[in-house]
Each structure stands twice: as C-alpha cells, then as structure tokens.
Amino acid sequence: MIDAAIVGMGRWGRVLVESVQGKSEAIRFVAGCTRSPEKAADWARTQGIRMLPDYDAVLADPAVGAVVLATPHSQHAGQVIAAARAGKQIFVEKPFTLTRASAEQAVAAVRQAGVVMALGHNRRFLPAVARLKRMIAEGALGTLCHIEGNISGPGALAYKPGMWRADPVESPAGGLAGMGIHMLDMFQNLCGPLAEVSVVSHARVATNGLDDTTAALVRFGSGVTGTLTTLAAVPRLWRLQVFGSEAWVEMWGTDTLVVGREGKPHERIRFEPVDLERAELEAFAAACAGGPAYPLSLEEAVHSAAMFEAVARGARSPGWIAVP
C-alpha cells in the first residue's frame, strides 16, 4: 500500500481520490494541499486526508510516499521536478506539460531520482482499446492507412473568467487540454509518433475568449494519416476509427468496437465498463511497488507534450507544423 498526497482538490482531484479511497489495497490518500483550502476542508476531512499548507509541506512530509498532481497544466513541470528531487513517486494528470522542452526537463529529473512517474491518460486502460491495439499488432487490419478521432463535450460553456481553465494559456485550441489530448495519446498509442499537424481552431459558440471548435489533420512518422476533432461546446462524444487495408474498426463510446470487412457483416464487440481512474492509480501503485511498468513510457510522455505543443501552435499558425 502506497500512501499518497493529492495536490489540487478541485473536481478532478476529488474524482481521483474517491476512485480508490477505502476501496483499494494498493493506494490510499493520507494528505494533500490545494489553492483554496477553505473550499475543500470538509471534503478532505470526510476522506481522512490531512490538509497541509502548501506543496512544499507535502514534499517535506515523510508519511507521503507519492504525489498525485491534479493541478493547472502550466505548473506540472516544476511540480514534477520538485517531487522527483524530494524522492516522491509521481502521478501527474494530463496534459503532462505545455512544451516538449519542459517535458524533457521533468523527465530528466525523474530519471535522475530513480522514481516512478505516471501520466494520467486513463483511456489506455479501456478493454476496448487493449483489444484494438492487439488487433493492430497482430495484423488483423492489414496495412494501417488512416485514423479518425473525435472527443467532444460542452465543457467550455462552463468556464468563467478567473477560472484557470478559462485562461487561453492553460486551454489553447479549444478542447485540446481537457479532451483532445486524450485522443492524441490514443493516436500515439495505436499508430506511433506524430510528425506534423495542420490545425483550424476558432470559437463558434463560446464567448469567454476560448476556442470551441478545433480540427487537425495529422501525419505520423510511419506515413499513416489522421484527423482529430475536438469540440468544446457540443454534447459529449467519444469516437475513434482506424482504417486498414483488410478491415476498419470503429470504437463508439468506450465499450463498443465495430469491425468492418469487405463483403462481410459488421462484427460488434461489447466490453464491460471499467473504473478508469482506479485502474490507472492502481497501475501506478503497482509500478511503485516494483511490479509491471506503468503502460505509458517516459518517452511517450515527452511526445505527448510535443504533440500538445504542435497542435497549440498550429491553432494560431497556418500550414503544417512539425511536432518538435
């Protein structure tokens, strides 16, 4: 059992804690800090979490073996470096960092300290994703040609001035930081590193200064092409489709795959729902205990930041943008 501290007790920090607290034999939260402690004090008390005054106090606490960072994206690099130097194991929410350079600095500190760092791309833990990745690896789709992804929702409409998520630096390119980064990770997970992107991003509905409509054409190093759509002012959607020379596979929502082959009826495969937050935190705890490596490498974490940086730049620059 690893004893962790939650850093950031907003909505998502609470989701992470509640996914495992009192339910898991691998990880528990014993302490934490947040920017507005008065808003979280009652909740922390009900979860058995000691409220510490700040991040420095968390890192100095010998009872804390790991930190779970549910903080603004721009703070991640510095917080990861500080945690690594303090010898704490690290789970950090996505996006990892805002640039490749800052991601490389954070990863260098993690490697030097010899600690575990896990990046919270929880959709890697979906059984449907595991099946689709296995089908690709086994050649069941033939030669990969193209991938399409759409992850959308109404989140931008709830962002108000003063909220950190309403800051264009924290939320560039519409739904990229909150949603689209998950699809970019899915692209990397299934098709390998991206090489370049071309992006269109603007506001169609939102009036809070943020984009809500973002579309990207991407090229992978392998030659596969792809399209990413992330809309931040529409009803929720997760849709992924991979096209190969022998078959295509569509993932509709998080629990259904549909397989299409020429001249054959479509095959539909259903999966049981999974608590993704508990799955990722327990995988992190297992890696900390010397078990299987967390299923997202440090190299992939750096590339995740590079993809984020390229799409954010492409949203403001015409033409093709190389992924750094």
pLDDT tens-digit profile of 172-203? Answer: 887 887 889 999 999 999 999 999 999 999 99
pLDDT for the residue 208: 83
Residue 247 to residue 238: CA distance in whole angstroms: 20
Least confident of 128-142, 154-168, 253-267: 154-168
pTM summary value: 0.94
Tens of pLDDT, residue by residue over 111-124, are: 999 999 999 999 99
- Mean pLDDT confidence for 251-256: 93
Confidence of residue 161 (pLDDT cuts 50, 70, 90): confident
CATH class (in words) of the domain with range 123-322 = alpha beta
Give the pLDDT score at 158: 78
Return mean pLDDT, the chain: 95
Cα distance between residue 185 and residue 176, in whole Å: 11
pLDDT for the residue numbered 155: 82
Is residue 298 classed as helix, strand or coil in its secondary structure?
A: helix
What is the pLDDT, as a whole number, of residue 157? Answer: 77
The answer to whether residue 165 scores a pLDDT higher than 90 is no
Order of all β-strands in the sheet with 321-322? 267-270, 256-260, 248-252, 237-244, 144-152, 225-231, 213-220, 194-202, 321-322
Please determine, for residue 9, whether its predicted confidence score (pLDDT) is greater than 90: yes
When pLDDT is averaged across residues 97-114 and rounded to a whole number, the result is 97
Look at residue 163 and tell me whether its pLDDT is greater than 80: no
For the chain, what percent of residues have pLDDT higher than 90?
88
Torsion sign (Cα): 10, 13, 19, 22: negative
pLDDT of res. 169? 78
Domain locations in the chain? 2-122, 123-322
Question: Burial, 42: exposed, middle or buried (Cβ in 10 Å; 0-12, 13-18, 19+)?
Answer: exposed
CATH architecture label of 2-122: 3-Layer(aba) Sandwich (3.40)
pLDDT tens, 126-149? Answer: 999 999 999 999 999 999 999 999
**The pLDDT value given to residue 174:** 78
pLDDT of residue 217: 98
Give the model's confidence band at 89: pLDDT under 50 very low, under 70 low, under 90 confident, else very high.
very high
Tens digit of pLDDT for each residue in 37-50?
999 999 999 999 99
pLDDT one-digit tens code per residue, 296-305: 999 999 999 9
